Amino acid sequence: MALDHEIPLNSLGFAKPPSETRVVVAMSGGVDSSVVAAYLADQGYDVVGVTLQLYDHGAALAKKGACCAGIDIHDARRVAEERGFPHYVLDYENIFKDAVIDEFADSYLAGATPVPCIRCNERVKFKDLLETARDLEADCMATGHYIQRKMGPNGPELHCAEDSTRDQSYFLFSTTPEQLDYLRFPLGHLPSKDATREMAAQYGLAVADKPDSQDICFVPNGNYASVIEKLRPGAAEPGEIVHADGRVLGSHEGVIHYTIGQRRGLGIGGLSDPLYVVRLDVDKKQVVVGPKEMLATRTIPVREINWLGDVPFTSRPEWRLSVKVRSTRPPREAIVRPISETEAEVELLTPEEGVSPGQACVFYASEGSRIFGGGWIWRGY
């Protein structure tokens, strides 16, 4: 029976006043995290803003549309000054290079199509930054991600954002139960990005109309190949474009310029049927092309699985779930068969085209909004 003097939980889930609840807000300088910080400060929480300096690209410092560059640090600092809470900039360049950029380059060179934003969340933001938040004696850490944390019968659960067009669950599947216990996502329930911008305008934030970041932050103008050539000189070695039946159809300027499923820009015109990149053979420096049906994949090996279910992953021989194999595609029905706690074979009930090593395979409830984690596709053919 509830006692009269029991303290009700505040909006972040703690049984104490907001003024006694310290929350570290990860501030990228964009509108989303700025609104989170302003909103929590407005509610009376003990807010500490932290911005990560992840890289210095020279040209990227003045570039709009990428997070964590110089202009974004300035924007984050200004929000903190105007709203009256402390703000720190942490130099994570070495950590970021070791944990994210180097793997990005190496996996691209190995013929994979990596998703560095997931690795950044997993290895930098939700690992080192989260530890920093604990060092600052914060009760929790809040971010501007569009995803929801809901309390279930067995503890916090990860759920898709209310606005499906902004949902970032694909990029956050590797959030562990321990991290989820500590994290908060105040924007996940909002109906649209317009609602976030309206809040920014209400708080008088200068970033209210700031454009969303589009590219991977350390890849100016989306030009992956030029970044990889800088990181790995000699990476763009020429080779042959080969048909799956063995015919040599042309030449290319480096495997790193191609991705699985690519059709345009192959430079092998004049053929009666359209051809697609179906495989990248890095050792032979070959781009292998074939008809569209060769892209269809039904069975996907997945490893490094992070499981967010209520019972152990291996407690069942198979799980009926929906899975996403690209961030831009809707979830598809699948059967997930555990091999170990961190490995599985995923059978798609409907074959999917362009499944690529290096992408994530994220698990969703067949009905409802819950996310059950996911893993990495390590061989798409």
| pLDDT per residue as tens digits for the range 133-178 | 999 999 999 999 999 999 999 999 999 999 999 999 999 999 999 9
66-113 pLDDT, tens digit per residue, is 444 578 899 999 999 999 999 999 999 999 999 999 999 888 888 788
- 313 neighbors 337 (Cβ within 8 angstroms): no
Are 268 and 289 in contact by the 8 Å Cβ rule? The answer is yes
pLDDT at 26 over 70: yes
To which H or E segment does residue 338 belong? strand 332-338
Q: What pLDDT is attached to residue 246?
A: 93
What percentage of the chain reaches a pLDDT higher than 70?
A: 94
* pLDDT for position 76: 95
Known catalytic residue: 67? no
Catalytic, out of 67, 140, 217, 361: 217
Residues 255 and 205: their CA atoms lie apart, in Å, by 44
| Superfamily holding 236-290 | Adenine nucleotide alpha hydrolases-like domains (2.30.30.280)
Task: For residues 82 and 75, give the distance between their C-alpha atoms in angstroms, rounded to a whole number.
Answer: 11
Q: Under a CB-based contact definition with an 8 Å cutoff, are residues 314 and 340 in contact?
A: yes
Range 296-377: architecture per CATH:
Beta Barrel (2.40)
- Is pLDDT above 90 for 200? yes
**pLDDT value at position 182?**
98
Supply the pTM of this predicted model.
0.89
Q: Give the tokens for residue 132.
A: 């920093």
Cα separation, 377 vs 99, whole angstroms: 19
CATH 2.30.30.280 residue spans of the chain: 236-290
Query: Is the pLDDT at 381 greater than 70, yes or no?
Result: no
- In this predicted model, what pLDDT tens digit does every residue of 353-376 receive, in sequence order? 878 889 999 999 999 999 999 999
User: One of 117, 120, 140, 361 is an active-site residue; which one?
Assistant: 120
| Domain 18-203 indexed as CATH 3.40.1390.30 | no
Could you list the residues known to form a binding site, using ranges: 26-33, 52, 144
Q: Calculate helix-pair angle for 70-83, 31-42, nearest 10 degrees.
A: 20
Strand partners, 54: none
Known catalytic membership, residue 217: yes
Looking at residue 5, what is its pLDDT?
Answer: 57
Closest CA to 110 of 285, 364, 264: 285
Q: Which residues define the annotated binding site for ATP?
A: 26-33, 52, 144
Span between the terminal Cα atoms of the chain, in Å:
58
Q: Where in the chain is the domain with CATH 3.40.50.620?
A: 18-203
Q: Supply the pLDDT for residue 270.
A: 67
- Of 144 and 56, the one with more pLDDT: 144
Residues whose CB is less than 8 angstroms from the CB of residue 25 and which lie 6 or more positions away in sequence, other chains included: 33, 36, 37, 40, 47, 48, 49, 50, 141, 142, 143
Average pLDDT over the chain, rounded to an integer: 90
Count of all residues that appear for the chain in the document: 381
Mean pLDDT across the stretch 287-315? 95
Alpha-carbon separation of residue 332 from 141, 190, 224, 298 (angstroms): 32, 25, 29, 11
Task: Name the residue with higher pLDDT: 192 or 3.
Answer: 192
- The segment(s) of the chain belonging to CATH 2.40.30.10 are 296-377
